[in-house]
Amino acid sequence: MHKGHDRDDVIDRILAKGADLCDEVEVFFTEGESVSAELKRSIVGEAHAARSWGIGIRTIRDGRIGASSTNDPSRWEDCLDAAIAGGTLATPQEWHGLPGPVTLSGSVPVFDPNITVAIEPAREMLRGLLAGAASWPVDVIGGSAGLSRSSVAIANSAGVHYTSERTGVGVSLEAIAGTSTGYEFDRSRFLDIDPFRVGEQAAFFAARSAGGGDIATGSYDVILSPVAVAQLLGNVLVPALSGRNVHAGRSFLAGKLGEQVLGETISVVDDPFARGMGSTLFDAEGVPTRRLAFIEEGVLSSYAYDLRTAYRYSEKTTASAVRGGAGGSPSIGIHNLLIEGPRHDIADERAVYAHDLVGAHTANPVTGDFSVELSNAFWMEGGDYAEPIRKAMLAGNVFSMFGAVDGLGRESRVVGSMILPPVRFKSMQVIGT
């Protein structure tokens, strides 16, 4: 695949050269291939194939941390030099070493040997999406189906060298009925997604949201879908749990360890071993992962730490490092975030339901205040969708609304690096027309 640039060779070279230049070196390596087929309306317009290759190098010298990344195999030496050069400008910090190797026990569900990265199976999934969408009288706007395989490795000068082979499959479809839109998607590491069901759901939302009525401004019980819940949690709760934000004075949850911060039946957990998109035995800096309870029955029990933040503030890493930080460095994140608590039939009593939110990223990450537009909003009653609602905004505060959770639904779904049920909230402010 890459003459002279295969994985172990490039990792060994970087570790060897880095050992001469600094105290410690770490290499994060990814390689992968993917294909996707794209619908333009209801016919295939584009077929894509890609290979990816990338390294992130981190160097530590006298407590100064430097990082750099490249996707160009011929520039690994420039990348190493750039990491060291950047490190000379970083403020030195308390540092007690990269992790050493341990025997990782068990396995996580991230690889499906039945996944073939080829265009034909992607084309076949598009047929499934379209067949599902045909269940409702809608026009298909577009859709996508893709398959991927990747290889991830983390290695460091303390002897860690872990690898993980991963597969992925994803589909999405967007439909419209008049001016009523519907979007649905699913992603998995296994061939266990159902394109027909995804197409059917997108079409359902487009078709059933048409002809919605107005809602008067006021206070209503609101049910948010897992997709909508994920957007609010991802924009507000996840950054508030980051140890870096806590210690930097930017988190609503700072100083609240041991305090009741959510409703007393609600727990929030990061479970790297669950069947989700973020499942992994080691984090992005080679620390073995563990199940991490952030909030237990409403009481804040832990923040998330990576090594650098833990060392700086005399805490312990929670194996919460993920890749995606600036310039190829790790940052604090989540693997598979779960909400736990008693499950109910939450849609029996009348409430406003929203499948999606428009503008959740505009929520205030520091205070948790937000006001967003609802997408595919319905009245829900007797466990089922009733009349659609044409247009409504929802305003509130993420922390106080999760303090007033009225119930968790029975079925969870994977949304990015979260696995969430629908959630019912009491007395939310809805701005109607």
Partner 1 sequence: MAEPRYWDIRHVEGAVTHVDIDNGVVESAGTSFFNRALLRVLGEHGWGVLTIENYASCSEKEIRDYIGRALQLARVTEEDVVLADAPSGMLPVPPLAEDPRDVSLEEKCGLLAGIEAAARLPGIASTRGRYTEDEGRVHFRDSSGNEYEYALCRSGFSVLAVARRGELMQMGRESEHTLSGLNLRHRQDMGRTAAERALALLDARPAKGGRMRALLDPELAGVFAHEAIGHASEGDLVKEGASIIKGRIGERIGNEILNIVDDPTLPEFGFEPVDAEGVAVARTEIIRNGVLSSYLHDRQTLAAVGDGIAGHARAVPGDVPVVRMSNTYIENGDASFDELLEACGTGILLAGSRGGQVDPGRGVFQFNAEYGYIVENGELGAMVRDVSLSGEILSTLHAIVLCGNDRKMHQGYCGKAGQSVPVSDGAPHVLLEEAVVGGSGA
Question: What residues from 262 to 321 belong to the interface with partner 1 (CB under 8 A)?
Answer: none
Task: Say whether residue 216 binds partner 1 (CB under 8 A).
Answer: no
Amino acid at 157: S
Residues within window 230-249 making contact with partner 1, judged by CB under 8 A:
244, 248-249
Task: Say whether residue 21 binds partner 1 (CB under 8 A).
Answer: no
Token digits of residue 59? 């160097």
Task: Say whether residue 108 binds partner 1 (CB under 8 A).
Answer: no
Give the one residue of 41, 291, 343, 350 binding partner 1; rule: CB under 8 A: 41
Task: Say whether residue 37 binds partner 1 (CB under 8 A).
Answer: yes
Strands 292-296 and 351-358: unpaired
Token digits of residue 170? 């994803």
Using CB under 8 A, which of the segments 13-21, 68-76, 156-164, 381-389 binds partner 1? 68-76
Question: Count of CB atoms within 10 A of residue 366's CB?
Answer: 14
Using CB under 8 A, which of the segments 151-159, 276-284, 294-302, 367-375 binds partner 1? 367-375
Give the one residue of 362, 383, 386, 410 binding partner 1; rule: CB under 8 A: 362
Strands 413-415 and 405-408: unpaired
The nearer residue to partner 1, 55 or 223, going by C-beta atoms, is 55
**Smallest distance, partner 1 to C-beta of residue 56, A:** 8
Size of the site for partner 1 (CB under 8 A): 83
**Smallest distance, partner 1 to C-beta of residue 66, A:** 6
The nearer residue to partner 1, 301 or 371, going by C-beta atoms, is 371
Q: How far is CA 376 from the centre of its chain?
A: 22
Task: Say whether residue 69 binds partner 1 (CB under 8 A).
Answer: yes
Token digits of residue 123? 């084309």
Distances (CA, A) of 322 to 115, 234, 305: 25, 14, 11
Residues within window 110-169 making contact with partner 1, judged by CB under 8 A:
119-120, 123, 139, 141-142
DSSP class of residue 73 equals G
Distances (CA, A) of 336 to 54, 109, 280, 295, 374: 24, 12, 9, 14, 26
Task: Say whether residue 395 binds partner 1 (CB under 8 A).
Answer: yes
Give the one residue of 18, 32, 87, 272 binding partner 1; rule: CB under 8 A: 87
For the chain, how many residues are written? Answer: 433
Task: Say whether residue 372 binds partner 1 (CB under 8 A).
Answer: yes
Question: Count of CB atoms within 10 A of residue 322's CB?
Answer: 19
The nearer residue to partner 1, 199 or 288, going by C-beta atoms, is 199
Give the one residue of 62, 358, 383, 386 binding partner 1; rule: CB under 8 A: 358
Distances (CA, A) of 399 to 57, 75, 77, 364, 403: 37, 46, 46, 11, 6
Residues within window 405-424 making contact with partner 1, judged by CB under 8 A:
none
The nearer residue to partner 1, 96 or 411, going by C-beta atoms, is 96
Token digits of residue 14? 């970087």
From CA 389, how far away is CA 281, in angstroms rounded? Answer: 44
